[in-house]
Structure formats: structure tokens, C-alpha cells
Amino acid sequence: MSKKRDSHFSEKGIDFLSRQNATDSAQEIIGQVAKRFDKQYRGEGFELPPEVEAMPIFLEWTAGTLANKVNSAFWEIAKPQKNSRCLDIGCGVSFLIYPWRDWDAYFYGQEISTVATDALNSRGSQLNSKLFKGVKLAPAHHLQYEASQFDSAIATGWSQYYGLNYWSQILGEVKRVLKPGGHFVFDILNPDKPLVEDWAILETYLGTEVFLEPISAWEKVVLAANAKIVSRKSGELFELYKVQF
């Protein structure tokens, strides 16, 4: 809308429209990301052009060695504490592959992949019925949990698929569900890293386009949400942040 057309709206109304537009534009992306990861979790193949399959980063992806470069070890800056309640947003199959039993922390999840959600809900309680508290199938901008419910929240491996306006909504939801003094750990893609361009090309052909936003723009969004950056850790592709509201 033009400024002239917006002039009759209150600031609150304009803010609502901005947030609603961000959500609407994200809905299609949410569907694409869910479709890509459903396919990946089912172990189905991806048909890619020969020039993409010839890229070294694709060979690392098929060999499984790329995961060490793209997965953020959130516990290195915010290890879940014993008996704490932790929400893993966009959790994938986190409870099955990370040492939640060693941490002795209560795991709650939210995910958009039906395949991952079903896998966790069918196997999580078998692995540890005390710690596993279930996974909700829903997008991150609408967390299916009560206010002030969690000691910590985690969101790694997916922020790069969405725009900054959408991420602002996610920060608001995370703030709502965290207890006072709770922390949020998430990662963002650093566009200045050497591997980023090739990785973004690969991700696009896998069905998930990547947003290459500068670190400074991300940090402005965090500060605008009244969040304080407590610590930060740099990886080969991602910057891992721990913040408190």
C-alpha cells in the first residue's frame, strides 16, 4: 500500500497489517519447506541437474559429511539443564539423535514436517517416556503452548528459509512461551562465509530457497524484539545466538 492509502489506519492497524502480510507471504514457503523435509525424512531421492550433482558440496551432502558443517550444536552455548522444560521449534528428529537423556531435560517439540512429527511421536516415548512430552504439528509463528511454559527454546537449521518480518513474529511467540529469565537459542546464516553461495544453490535445487540477509539486519530484528544477545558462536555456515528477553 502507498502512504496515502495507509493514512487512515492507526499505527496499531498498520502494525497488524504488516504482521499479517508477513504471515501470508510465509505460508507458501512453509508448505515448500515441509514438502522438502517430508521427502528427505522419507529417504526419497532428489532429481538435480548434473552440474549441481557435480558440485563438491552436493557430494558432501550425499555422503552425510555436510551435516557437520551445517548443524549448530546449540548445547555448546546453552546446554539444557536437568528437569528444565525445553521447546525445540522446527525440531526435526532432534529427540532421537541428540543426548536429551543425558541432559535429563523435558523435551517439547513443534514441527511442520508431518513425517518428522509422526516419527517422533511414535518413537519418542519409547525412547524415554519421562522426558519426551510430544511434538505439535504447526508453524513457528503460532506456537501451540501456554504462556511462560518453558525455561528455554531452540530453533536451529531453518531461519534462512524465511524473511526477517516473519522472524519478528517468531520472536514474539517465543517471548510469550518463555518463563521470565528463560533463554532462546537459534542460528542464522552468515552470508559472508565461503561455503554459503554453493550451499544456497544446493538448497534451492532441493526445494528450499535461502534468504541471504546480512548479520546486522538479523541483529536489528533481535534488538527490536527487546531481546538481549547473551552469547554468540560462529560456525562454518551459521552464527549461533543465545538471547534473553
- pLDDT (tens digit, 9 = 90+) per residue, 70-98? 999 999 999 999 999 999 999 999 999 99
199 has a pLDDT exceeding 90: yes
Residue 29 has pLDDT above 50, yes or no: yes
- The set of long-range contacts for 115-121, using a CB threshold of 8 Å and a minimum separation of 24, is 115/37, 115/38, 115/41, 115/42, 116/37, 116/38, 116/41, 116/91, 116/92, 119/41, 119/93, 120/91, 120/93, 120/94, 120/95, 120/96
Backbone dihedral region for residue 51 (phi beyond 0: left; psi -120 to 50: alpha; all else: beta): alpha
Contact yes or no for 243/228 (Cβ under 8 A)? yes
Residue 26 pLDDT grade (very low, low, confident, very high; cuts 50, 70, 90): confident
Distance, in Å, from the CA atom of 96 to the CA atom of 87, rounded to the nearest integer, reads: 15
In angstroms, what is the C-alpha Rg of the chain?
18
> Measuring CA to CA, which residue among 96, 86, 95, 97 is closest to residue 152?
86
Instruction: Give the pLDDT confidence score for residue 24 in this predicted structure.
Output: 63
Question: Do residues 147 and 4 make contact, with C-beta atoms less than 8 angstroms apart?
Answer: no
Residues 52/202, Cβ–Cβ less than 8 Å:
yes
Q: Which three cell numbers stand for residue 217?
A: 539486519
Contact yes or no for 104/82 (Cβ under 8 A):
yes
Pairing of strands 132-137, 106-111: parallel
Q: Mean pLDDT check: name the lowest of 9-18, 28-37, 173-182.
A: 9-18
Looking at residue 53, the DSSP 8-state letter turns out to be: H
**pLDDT tens, position by position, 138-155:** 999 999 999 999 999 999
d(CA 57, CA 47): 16
CA distance 59 to 26: 30
Task: Give the pLDDT of residue 68.
Answer: 87
Closest CA to 35 of 222, 208, 175: 208
C-alpha cell at 133: 512430552
What's the one-letter identity of residue 84? S
* pLDDT reading at 110 higher than 80: yes
